[in-house]
Amino acid sequence: MSQYNNRNLTVLNAKEFSGLPILQFKNGVYGEYLHNNFIVIYHTLKRYSKVFAVRVDLRFPDYYDADDNRYVTRFTASLKAKINADYNAKCKNAEGFVHQSEVLYIWVQETGELNRPHYHLCLFFNGNAYRSLGVFELGRPNLYNRIVKAWASALALDVVAAQGLVHFPKAPCYLLERGRIHQTNTLRELFLRLSYFAKVDSKTYGDGRRHYGCSRLLGRLQVGD
């Protein structure tokens, strides 16, 4: 259970949010986090006809003093730069149209064993530009390597050292199609999975850290620490 509940947020105990299923936890979930998850997903679907979403977990070396959120900020900035560089490289070599992609994100920081913080993230891309992580092998020009390299950059580590700190959970990828959103369960499955980010438990408040963040979008709610 959380060391402190955030009294600035609304705790919900429900089975659905905006008509979409959510996980249930003993101490509930934060409604503002669910709202922002919803906004990020629908903004991305409005922008792109296909959306590629990826779940990833980021951890720290044991010797790191991860006392604030500058590392996840560095990670998202580095990943955006790598995605832009990939687009520019493709434009130079392509004869036809090349799809560009923003990087949108939702993250939550939790405290695990030995009071060590870690991050759970969901990353969103244009599904016309990216639709797989590629082979999980260093040195390949794929999305997996760009994510690992971005975390390495954030931590100022060699990519080999950072590789073991980047974990993709089981079935991490989702492809949402705007035109088939009501014909498949993909959106419902993704929203259900991301409702885990909103749970009250395993977030230690009162330590000066932010414990949830997402892309800055119209309709997004400001949430406190």
Q: What residue segments make up the domains of the chain, in order of their start?
A: 25-214
7: which residues sit within 8 A by CB, 6+ positions away? none
For residue range 20-41, what is the model confidence (pLDDT) as tens digits?
Answer: 999 999 999 999 999 999 999 9
The 10s digit of each residue's pLDDT in 153-184 is 999 999 999 999 999 999 999 999 999 999 99
Percent helix, strand and coil across the chain, each to the nearest 5: 35, 20, 45
> Which one-letter amino acid corresponds to residue 217?
L
Question: Token digits for 17?
Answer: 């949010």
Instruction: Tell which residue, 62, 31, 63, 57, has the closest CA to residue 110.
Output: 57
Cβ atoms 136, 146 nearer than 8 A = no
Calculated CA dihedral for residues 210, 211, 216, 219, nearest 10 degrees? -110
Measured distance CA(1)–CA(4) in Å, rounded: 8
Q: What is the pLDDT of residue 171?
A: 98
Dist. CA 162–CA 159, nearest whole Å: 5
Which one-letter DSSP state was computed for residue 136? S
Cβ atoms of 58 and 75 within 8 Å: the answer is: yes
DSSP 8-state class, residue 18? T
With contact defined as beta carbons under 8 Å apart, do 91 and 97 qualify? no
Lowest-pLDDT range of 37-41, 129-133, 208-212: 208-212
Q: Is the pTM of this model over 0.75?
A: yes
